Structure 1
Amino acid sequence: MAMMGYSRPLGETATAITGPLSADETDAPQAHGPDPHQDLLALANKTVLASQALITEIELLLRELSTRAKKLASTGVPMFLRSLQASHALARQALDDLSASSSSSSSSPLLPDEAFLRKARRKVGTSAVDISRAATHWAILKRCSSLVAIHQAFQGSAKTTRGEEISRMPSMSARQKELMHRTLKQQAKVEVHVVASGSEWLHVRTLQADRLAQQMSDAGWNWGQHNSDELPEDEVVLDEDEWSDVPLAKQVKRLIAAAKLHRHEYRIPRIRIVLPNIGDENPDINLFLGQLSRMDPAVHVTVEVRTGEFLSRGPPVAVEDAIRNLVGCPLEGLTETLNLDHSILVALASDITHLRVVLERGHSAATRAQIEEEARHEGGLMAKVLYPILQGRKLVCTPEAAEHFHHVLRLVGTASECERGELLVALPLGSQAQMSPCNGGREAFRARFRELSVHEMPSTVDLPITVMTECWRPDSLQEDVDEGALPGVALDVVRHCGFSAAKLSVFMYGWRSGNMTLSCNREVKAQFRTLVEMYRRAEDDYGPLIWGVDVARNLLGRGAGEAGLAQTDISRTGGCDAEE
């Protein structure tokens, strides 16, 4: 995997985005001028105004996310907002106290006592630092897209690894081992912002350059001893003993370990370390930061400084645009071609999806639940969920999926389900021109399909589905691996998955082609992920891309089901036989 180094400046240096207030990682703002009371009053007022502006923007983000996020709490935004509101309330209280004291002082020669000022300074200082940090993080987040979570915690060590480390510690009681296990677990925990739909971790440190320089010196850095005329500055590799004890290096090491344990779509997330208070003026600091980006060749680490491209490119994005980017597109990641599995074909043919079905005693519990779910949503649910995913993309399925689909339709499908199935997936297999009963092409297909549904199908949904002419063959697996069409782990996944041949062929086609496989089976993605991680042979092994649809539909089926259809003007001609 190509490594990204520490970003260099492009163009003129932009203003540092440290938010409305500036604070070091540990030092709170102080007010010790000629008039400490007025200084504190001014700082409290500035903090209140800054926090209110910040809260307004985060509330807007939360409002937009609420329309998309399935579990809003998991985004961390509600907690982030509550923390801001608490800091705002603390600053507001201090401001009110200082204002009241100022008013009383104007009519009295006595100044506020030192105890009062000390208490006010503590409140203002705490809230000012908290708001400053939050503003810095938010300003950086506004340069990102597709937010998954703010301040997401990840564990950076496996239980077995901690156990091995503890076993090497002699003369420890069971209680001591338990406490050590907890300590190691806590030490390995990291906190990041997750962006780019989960493929990138953002770690922001408001560390100042002088503090970093001191930490480097304490770790044994040899200042001014690393000049090299042979290599560019960002390619010089130094002895780890000289820099590995720097706290920032230790933190990056923890981030890398955690990223390896928490993959996204089989891949290790990229890590972006953002240092908004550090520039590129010091060559030694530049060299040190360059070492961080090359700490592990399997992990893509980028270190961003104030004058680098990430922070200095262009003016800040307008808050409305930034929030739109952070909310992202719910369908981001879908490939141009979608591979449809059997469950999607069934949902597209089902009477439950396309008709207003009345509940009957003969319906199974699962069918009843699906009918009730459709009825609870005005205009139905399945079509609203599925059509936006399908729009504007080429839709394909494997011959095995098509054959299994029509086999099930012949067994249990209603007449209208059979006809929809014949319209959706051509018979004989692989021949769109011989589609039955509509041989009039796309327009005839759409007209007839429209008659078989109470829901309008968007014109951008590319139906009928193309049946691929090539079948995936198990005997070609080794050849696919040898040629690089599939990773080595595919050999173990196929051997141990326990899937039927028809089911396996669908996902193996998607895996080999790189196309997203669409499925209503909520468990299959987790099954593949577990298998790939269990039998992983290399860091860059990957599994099939699978998009899980949260709604599923059965065929209504003949018998009691057909009697439950509502009165419609749908013609039932062109149905299929029930024989196998």
Structure 2
Amino acid sequence: MTDSLASSVQAMDLGAPDVDDLIERCKTLHEEVEQYVIAVDTSQRQAKIPFQVEYRTLRSDFKNELAFLQKLKSANHPPEKARHYAVSSNLLYYEALWAAAKRSSGLLAFRKYFYWNRQKGQAKNATSSYKGGVSKGKTSALVDIVAADGMEWIRVSTTSEKRLLFDLAKMGWQNDSDSDSEMEDAVPSNWEDEDDDDQVEIVKSARELARAARANPMRGHAPKVRYVLTRLASGRLKEVDMVLDKMRAVGIIVECANEIPGTPSVQDALPNLLVDRSRTLSKTLNIDCTILLALISDISHGECEILDWYPGEVRAQILEEQKEKLLPTHLYPAIASHPMVTTQEAAEQMNVIVDTLATDAEKRRANLLLAQRDCQDMAPTDILKEWQTLSDHPSPPSFQLPIRVFPAHVSSRIDTLPAAAKKMQTELGELNAAIFFYGWAEGLTTLSSNRARAKQIERFINEVGLKDGQSGPHVWLCGESRSLIAKCGRRK
């Protein structure tokens, strides 16, 4: 280690922070996070999202930080001791984390560990754990923010140039002219050939994130990893740029202090931070059989009396509908003005169920929905007008009926889909393969309430994987289903 590298960091000292200032900043941070939590809870109740946003670690950390600072102030330590304690505050990091979150969208989790190598007997892929415990081993990576509906991981670092240069000096890096050629060769052709223990902390962390992302695919692809360095600028010091190159070599995005875009206010950012699955819907929607039935069910369209001979499932759905209306709360907002299609197989399955169980009103809605049988010559405006007379709920402006019906042609489409399709075809069965493969091949979002099949597809995609440029089927999963009310005679 040379004196020249150490001397370049002597003036890089931010000094001790003021406790009162830290408390005010932390209060602002805490208030914004509480606004976000309230919005998330409200959104999840209304949208019936089939998973919960994991914000509790973030909320707890920020609350504890504020309590620590307030306790520090009330302790009336001598100024020097108070400054010593204040330096240990994590507020700078929490501010950076929250700012990065506000520049993101579709937040799913905070401060979460993901594994890339599980012990024998444990699942190989798609495994994660909360902060703490065994997740602190060398086979896991900490993700500060899981964003973009799970497709982006964000890690935030407040490492300073001073800290980084000292770490490099400790490892033997030199910043004189004789070392220029050494630094030019610092990034290997294959970073996995290097020992992580020989790297500075942020390079180690970048490599851990890259491994974990590969082991935890989302829709067949590793999540995009973004590493935000709030106190390191690119293009200023060659030693810093060398470290940045090592981080980028693992395939992640590195965002330096001089590249970070402006941070919006919490009011402006809030709509984007909430999970909104409608943002990712295709222009035309593929409707599966479960949603076709939900759209025509009497339960979805008005008050239904619970009769003593109704099956338990129907009784439960009527009670659920009394608390939360499926059409105006979930299906209509998602469908909006999107054109809709369905497969011949899904339509035929719906008609089999309709012919067996449906009430007269449900039969009529089925014919209107698909413009079939005695409705096949009706104009769309007439279909919509009659549809509305059969419902207590107004349909969306520009609601597009009828749903167009197309044959799936699975046998001719299967060869155009990724390899995972062939592996899952038998397990899905003819009907579900026709529905989901049609949407997949056409690049359409499939609306479904078939949770088991959606999870099955996700598991196959993640196990088999996808090649660059390929994508898995996009499924919008409804949290609730609706059966036909059933004509008289259906028994428990």
State which drifts further: 280-289 or 332-341.
Answer: 280-289
| Structure 1 contact 162–184 (Cα < 8 Å) conserved | no
Task: Identify the residue that residue 434 of structure 2 maps to in structure 1.
Answer: 505
Equivalent residue of 1:187, what SS?
Answer: coil
Q: Do structure 1's residue 437 and structure 2's residue 389 form an aligned pair?
A: no
Equivalent residue of 1:518, what SS?
Answer: strand
**Which of 148, 162, 166 is the equivalent residue of 1:196?**
148
Q: 1:307 to 1:117 in 2, by over 3 A?
A: closer
Q: Structure 1: how far apart are the matches of 2:311 and 2:402?
A: 30
User: Equivalences for 1:14-33 in 2 at 5 Å?
Assistant: 30=16
Q: Do structure 1's residue 150 and structure 2's residue 81 form an aligned pair?
A: no
Q: 1:68 to 1:476 in 2, by over 3 A?
A: closer
Task: Identify the residue that residue 523 of structure 1 maps to in structure 2.
Answer: 452
Q: Structure 1: how far apart are the matches of 2:414 and 2:59?
A: 51
**Which of 56, 61, 74 is the equivalent residue of 2:36?**
61
User: Equivalences for 1:460-539 in 2 at 5 Å?
Assistant: 460-468=398-406, 470-474=407-411, 476-478=413-415, 480=416, 486-495=417-426, 497=427, 499-536=428-465, 538=467
Superposition CA RMSD, Å: 3.3
Q: Deviations over 1:86-131 (max 9, x none)?
A: 3223322332343xxxxxxxxxxxxx8xxx56764454333xx222
Q: Do structure 1's residue 294 and structure 2's residue 249 form an aligned pair?
A: yes
Q: Deviations over 1:153-199 (max 9, x none)?
A: 222322249999xxxxxxxxxxxxxxxxx979722222221112211
Q: 1:383 to 1:183 in 2, by over 3 A?
A: closer
| Structure 2 contact 217–462 (Cα < 8 Å) conserved | no
Aligned length: 461
Q: Do structure 1's residue 125 and structure 2's residue 87 form an aligned pair?
A: yes
State which drifts further: 350-359 or 70-79.
Answer: 70-79
Equivalent residue of 1:523, what SS?
Answer: helix
Q: Do structure 1's residue 95 and structure 2's residue 73 form an aligned pair?
A: yes
Tell me the TM-score normalized by structure 2.
Answer: 0.84
| Structure 1 contact 147–328 (Cα < 8 Å) conserved | yes
Structure 2 residues not aligned, in runs of 5+ = 1-11, 125-132
Q: What is the CA-CA distance between 1:528 and the residue it aligns to?
A: 0.8
User: Equivalences for 1:5-404 in 2 at 5 Å?
Assistant: 30=16, 43-69=18-44, 75-98=53-76, 120-126=82-88, 129-160=89-120, 186-192=137-143, 193-219=145-171, 221=173, 223=175, 225-226=179-180, 240=191, 244=196, 245-246=198-199, 247-280=201-234, 281-295=236-250, 300-308=251-259, 311=260, 313=261, 315-327=262-274, 329-377=276-324, 380-404=325-349
Q: What is the CA-CA distance between 1:219 and the residue it aligns to?
A: 4.4
Equivalent residue of 1:202, what SS?
Answer: strand
| Structure 1 contact 162–185 (Cα < 8 Å) conserved | no
Tell me the TM-score normalized by structure 1.
Answer: 0.72
Q: Deviations over 1:399-435 (max 9, x none)?
A: 11112211221122111111110110132xxxxxxx6
**Which of 457, 481, 484 is the equivalent residue of 1:552?**
481
| Structure 2 contact 232–240 (Cα < 8 Å) conserved | no
Task: Identify the residue that residue 8 of structure 2 maps to in structure 1.
Answer: none
Q: What is the CA-CA distance between 1:324 and the residue it aligns to?
A: 2.7
Equivalent residue of 2:90, what SS?
Answer: helix
| Structure 1 contact 273–304 (Cα < 8 Å) conserved | yes
Q: What is the CA-CA distance between 1:78 and the residue it aligns to?
A: 3.8
Q: Structure 2: how far apart are the matches of 1:459 and 1:446?
A: 11
The share of aligned pairs that are identical, in percent, is: 25
| Structure 2 contact 92–158 (Cα < 8 Å) conserved | no
Q: What is the CA-CA distance between 1:143 and the residue it aligns to?
A: 1.7
Structure 1 residues not aligned, in runs of 5+ = 1-23, 31-41, 99-111, 165-181, 428-434, 481-485, 563-580
